[in-house]
Amino acid sequence: MTEKGKVIKTTVNLPADAVEAIRSIAESRGITMTEAIRQAIVMEKFLFDAEKAGGKVLIEERDKQVKQIVLR
C-alpha cells in the first residue's frame, strides 16, 4: 500500500476517444488532464464501493425518469 498523498508518476495507454473525453472534461472544468483523470478514478472508486456495499447508483433524467447504472 502506498503512502496517502504521495504522488506516483504512472503511464497508461488509452484509446484516442478516451483521451479526447478526458481532454474535453478537463478543458470544460478548467483543470489539467491529470486532475480530470484523478477525479474520474475517485468517482469510480466511490461508485464501486457504494455498489459493493449493496447500494444502487441511480441517475434522474430531466423528465424525472430514474435509471439505474450497473457497473461492470
Q: List pLDDT tens digits, range 20-61.
A: 999 999 999 999 999 999 999 999 999 999 999 999 999 999
Of 5 and 41, the structure prediction assigns the larger pLDDT to 41
pLDDT at res. 1: 53
Q: How far apart are the first and last CA of the chain?
A: 24
Cα–Cα dist 23/40, whole Å: 12
pLDDT at res. 27: 98
* Residue 57, strand partner residues: 69
**Dihedral pair phi/psi, residue 68, rounded to 5°:** -90, 135
pLDDT at res. 3: 73
pLDDT at res. 40: 96
